């Protein structure tokens, strides 16, 4: 799964510009402009390499919606891209950036952000605005705990599920003593805590935990100090590929103190394989969301993505596509309205007891959603939002093979 350049990602995004949306709007409603949704991206910052294909997947969904006749009244759907980064100062400002873009565009909702820190900030703005938000990449458990008036959803599974899968994998491999190293920030800190809880509940022991200093470059002393705190069979390293992940992983592997290194989606970027090499990464396994390749919707999405020039198996690309499709179906149900009507419609188009619909036949799905509740079954599987707006998703173990990360489904 080769992460494409930012230029290539922006090239696809230009295909769904407001101008194109107006051209595709049916002639019967020439005075109606497009329905606008703010697409909160992560094309700069720590997850930039893995975000490009995810962002393009959102845009692919919108292209298909507009080509299939648009929303219920024939209006086009338009995504307005706002890059809010991933961590640090950009993430801190994500709430203000999201609010300003929403108000300036006259938008009705948000897609994204990709990263947890940015998503927490943007969620605060969405709640204050009364605007629904569907993130396709943010996994922090803190999103589940928000008092959000049922406005905040996500198509990627929570890190509670990721932590449980990580712990199960470690114990299955015979690791009973683990060391943990993580970057600062909501995602890595929250996942490290959730993993420690799940691993101990399974009978394992955490020998040492360390928060890595940001931007240090050389993490050999940190890894040596972590290993000296107690003998452990393996290390859990939670960091972003575009942040401190690569130098920290390099230091851990060179030290050779652990039989294996486990990680999560922050490192799931092919740039890591290119930098370190598949042979170097033989002891590394990442646990992260994966698409449901058994679904008919996956077959459609994979072919459409490849035709559009991006990798359908890229991290969270299927979740990005599904988030945009769910938003489009919900806008059909709400008649293009935002607020509580749109939030209720998101529930109605993911109703587990309703008629199943999927991508590849937008006109049919739109007609069904206009008539009543539906159950969207997408490229990442059947989306089932719980009371907190979370969905279980599919998790896989990812190994570096032939220069890319490849997945084997775990749960």
| Strand residue runs (E) in 126-259 | 133-135, 152-154, 177-182, 205-211, 234-238
**Over the stretch 389-400, which tens digit does the pLDDT of each residue have?**
999 888 999 999
Q: Which domain holds residue 189?
A: 159-288+395-409
Whether residue 189 sits in one domain with residue 57: no
| 272 part of a folded domain | yes
DSSP 335: T
d(CA 348, CA 333): 8
- Distance from C-alpha of 347 to C-alpha of 266, rounded to nearest angstrom: 29
Vertex 149: Cα angle to 147 and 152 (nearest 5):
80
Query: Where does the pLDDT of residue 48 fall: very low under 50, low under 70, confident under 90, or very high at 90 and above?
Result: confident
**Pair (254, 400) in one structural domain:** yes
Does residue 390 lie in a domain region? no
The answer on 16 and 142 residing in a single domain is yes
Residue 293 confidence (pLDDT): 83
Q: Both 274 and 129 in a single domain?
A: no
At residue 154, the 3 state secondary structure works out as strand
Q: For the chain, give the mean pLDDT.
A: 90
**In a shared domain, residues 318 and 245:** no
pLDDT digits (tens, 9 = 90+) for 327-359: 999 999 999 999 999 999 999 999 999 999 999
Q: Look at residue 388 and tell me if it is in a domain.
A: no
Residue 389 lies in a domain: no
44-49-53 Cα angle (round to 5): 105
Most confident of 170-179, 314-323, 388-397: 170-179
Specify whether 198 is located in the same domain as 213: yes
pLDDT of res. 280: 95
- Please choose, from the candidates 374, 373, 332, the residue with its C-alpha nearest in 3D space to the C-alpha of residue 65: 332
Give yes or no for residue 59 having a pLDDT over 70.
Answer: yes
State how beta strands 133-135 and 109-111 pair. Answer: parallel
Q: What DSSP assignment string belongs to 280-322?
A: TTTTEEEEEE---TTSHHHHHHHHHHHHHTS-TTSTTHHHHHH
Higher pLDDT, 49 or 237: 237
**Whether residue 284 is found in the same domain as residue 302:** no
Are both 58 and 150 inside the same structural domain?
yes
Residue 105 predicted with pLDDT over 90: yes
pLDDT for 5 beyond 70: no
Tens digit of each residue's pLDDT (9 = 90 or more) over 190-205: 999 999 999 999 999 9
**What are the φ and ψ backbone dihedral angles of 48, each rounded to 5 degrees?**
-65, -40
Task: Count CB-CB contacts under 10 A for residue 5.
Answer: 11
* CATH number, residue 203: 3.40.50.2300
Q: Please give the Cα distance from 109 to 374 (Å, whole number).
A: 20
For residues 137 and 42, the answer to whether their CB atoms sit within 8 Å is yes
- Helices 159-172 & 186-201 angle (0-180, nearest 10): 50
Claim to verify: residue 111 and residue 166 sit in the same structural domain: no
Asked whether residue 387 is assigned to any structural domain, the reply reads no
Number of structural domains the chain divides into: 2
**Alpha-carbon distance values, 207 to 203, 210, 233, 285 (Å):** 13, 10, 10, 20
């Amino acid at each position: 799964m080769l992460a494409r350049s930012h230029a290539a990602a922006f090239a696809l995004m230009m295909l769904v510009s407001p101008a194109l949306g107006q051209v595709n709007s049916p002639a019967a409603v020439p005075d109606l402009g497009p329905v606008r949704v703010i697409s909160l991206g992560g094309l700069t910052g720590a997850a930039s390499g893995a975000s490009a294909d995810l962002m393009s997947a959102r845009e692919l969904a919108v292209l298909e919606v507009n080509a299939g006749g648009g929303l219920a009244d024939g209006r086009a759907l338009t995504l307005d891209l706002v890059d809010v980064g991933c961590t640090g100062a950009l993430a801190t400002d994500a709430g203000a950036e999201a609010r300003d873009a929403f108000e300036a565009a006259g938008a009705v909702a948000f897609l994204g952000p990709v990263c947890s820190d940015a998503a927490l900030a943007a969620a605060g703005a969405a709640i204050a605005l009364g605007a629904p938000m569907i993130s396709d990449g943010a996994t922090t458990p803190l999103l589940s705990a928000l008092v959000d008036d049922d406005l905040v959803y996500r198509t990627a599974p929570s890190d509670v599920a990721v932590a449980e899968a990580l712990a199960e994998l470690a114990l299955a491999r015979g690791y009973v003593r683990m060391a943990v190293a993580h970057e600062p920030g909501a995602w890595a800190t929250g996942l490290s805590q959730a993993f420690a809880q799940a691993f101990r509940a399974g009978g394992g022991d955490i020998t040492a935990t360390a928060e890595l200093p940001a931007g240090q470059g050389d993490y050999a002393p940190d890894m040596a100090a972590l290993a000296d705190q107690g003998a452990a069979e393996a290390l859990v390293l939670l960091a972003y590929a575009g942040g401190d992940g690569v130098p920290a992983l390099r230091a851990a592997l060179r030290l050779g103190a652990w039989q294996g290194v486990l990680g999560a989606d922050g490192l799931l970027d092919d740039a890591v394989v290119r930098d370190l090499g598949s042979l170097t990464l033989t002891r590394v396994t990442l646990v992260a969301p994966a698409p449901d390749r058994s679904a008919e919707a996956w077959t459609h999405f994979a072919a459409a993505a490849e035709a559009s020039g991006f990798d359908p198996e890229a991290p969270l690309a299927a979740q990005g596509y599904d988030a945009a499709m769910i938003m489009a179906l919900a806008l059909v149900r709400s008649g293009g309205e935002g607020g509580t009507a749109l939030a209720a419609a998101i529930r109605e188009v993911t109703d587990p007891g309703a008629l199943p619909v999927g991508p590849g036949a937008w006109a049919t799905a739109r007609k069904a959603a206009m008539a009543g509740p539906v159950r969207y079954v997408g490229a990442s599987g059947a989306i089932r939002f719980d009371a907190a707006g979370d969905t279980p998703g599919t998790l896989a173990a990812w190994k570096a093979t032939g220069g890319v990360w490849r997945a084997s489904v775990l749960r």
